Amino acid sequence: MTALGDAVLQAHVVAGFAALFAGLGALATEKGGRRHRQSGRIYVYAMAFVSGTSLALYAVEPTFMRLFLGLVAVFSFYFAFSGYRVLGRKRPSDDPALPDWVAVGLLGAASVGLLAVGATYYLDGADFAAVVLVFGAIAGAFAVTDARKFRRERDRFAWVGEHVVRMGAGYIATVSAFSTVNFTALPSIARWLWPTVLGTPLLVYLQYKYEDEFASN
């Protein structure tokens, strides 16, 4: 890798750690409090930088794996972005703006790219195809679901669950990246997918928990 690529990679790693710790801070602090909001903003900004540098790394080193990582970065940032944006659309009458539609369009494009990469890995007989196809399927499901949601009125407290699930899903992706780089003793598929397997039931629980709390207040 060139000196430019090394510099981009270092910046990418620093932003990744910032997202990891800021996301943990948002999870650990009182919801709606000042520290929670500050941690959440830092998390979103860090994820934006992670996504941008991941795409830059693909431009510097255009390999198949770099393409996959770049698409996953877009997929990951979408959750953080949409989780943050939903706070500005708390009322059911608040319509999605252009950035929301652009973001869901990019997620759909990333989904198509991930499924194409996964299919290529599968045809080559690579076990890693399962990881790529899972991420592609999740991205596609959210893209279609969100596009449909944008066209109909939401429930009064729908923003609560959406915020929890999306910020949490973005954090799962952040933990997945950390696991892949550091937990090398685990098989490749396990390193990528254990945060999703463990984190998804937790997100479902938190979604119902906070929706019930807000609805009862």
pLDDT given for residue 209 in this prediction: 79
Percent of the chain at pLDDT exceeding 70: 93
Structure tokens at 12: 């990418």
- List, in order, residues 6 or more apart from 57 with CB less than 8 Å away: 5, 8, 9, 12, 66, 69, 70
Query: Could you report the per-residue pLDDT of 151-176, keeping only the tens digit for each?
Result: 766 666 677 778 888 888 888 988 88
Model-level pTM? Answer: 0.83
Whether 45 shows a pLDDT value over 90: the answer reads: yes
- Alpha-carbon distance 112 to 190, whole Å? 23
Comparing C-alpha atoms, which of 65, 50, 37, 64 is closest to residue 11? 50
Quote the tokens at residue 204.
Answer: 């479902």
